[in-house]
Amino acid sequence: MMSTNAYDGHEDDQKKVVSALGGKKGLIDSGLPTLVFLLTFNFSHSLNKSTTYALVLSGLLTLLRLVRRETLQHALSGIIGVAVCAWFSRSTGHARDFYLPGLITNFAYGIAYAVANIAGWPLLGVMLGPILGENFAWRKSPERKGVYLKASWLWVGLFVSRLAIQYPLYRANQLNWLGTARLAMGYPLFFLVGWWSWLIIRKVPTVKNG
C-alpha cells in the first residue's frame, strides 16, 4: 500500500538534494583548482607549474576536509578529477587538454540523462528517490515521475549548453575564453539548475511505501 506525503520545500529535504548534487563544498573542491590552473598558466605560461599548483590546492582541500572530519566524497572526487585533467594536459603538452576531461564528462552525462529520461528512468529520481524516502515508488505516480523527468531535462540542457559553447573554444585553442566559460558555466549554472530542479521536484508529493 502506498500513501503520499506532500513536502513543499522542507529544509531537511532541500539539504539532502543539494548534498546529493554535489553541494557547495563539492563545487569548491572541484572549482578552485581549475581557477588556480587558469590564473597560473596566464601568468607563468608553464603547464607543469599550473597543473602542479592545481593538484597541490586540491590535495590541501582534501586534507582540510579530513582534519575537519567532513565527508571526503566530493574532495576525493575533486582531487581525482584534477589529477586526470593534469594527466591529460601533460600527456599531450597542450594546456587546453586540461579541460578535455570536463568536455567528455559533460557529453557522457548529457547522453546518460537523456537516455534515462527516454527509458522512463530519470536519473534525478534514481538518485533522489532513496534519499527522500520514496525509493523507486515514484515510478507508480505519473505526477511524481513527471517532475523528475522535467527536472532531469534541465540537466540535459546544462550539459548540452556547456558543450555547445566550450567545445568550439577548445577546438580553436582559445584557452582563456575556454577557462572563463568553464568557470562561468560551472558554479552559476550549477546552482541555477540545481535550484530550479528543486523548485520543480518539491511541488509534487513524495510517494511513500507503507
Which tens digit of pLDDT belongs to each residue from 96-112? 999 999 999 999 999 99
Global pTM reads 0.80
Domain residue extents for the chain: 2-205
Question: What type of residue is 86?
Answer: A
Tell me which range, 62-66, 92-96, 166-170, is most confidently predicted by mean pLDDT: 166-170
Q: What average pLDDT does the segment 46-51 reach?
A: 89
Helix 123-131 to helix 100-118 angle, to the nearest 10 degrees? Answer: 80
Q: Which residues pair with 3 in a beta bridge?
A: 208
Kindly indicate the confidence band of residue 5, based on its pLDDT and cuts at 50, 70 and 90: very low
Cell of 78: 575533486
Nearest to 28 by CA among 71, 88, 90, 92: 71
- Whether 123 has a pLDDT exceeding 60, the answer reads yes
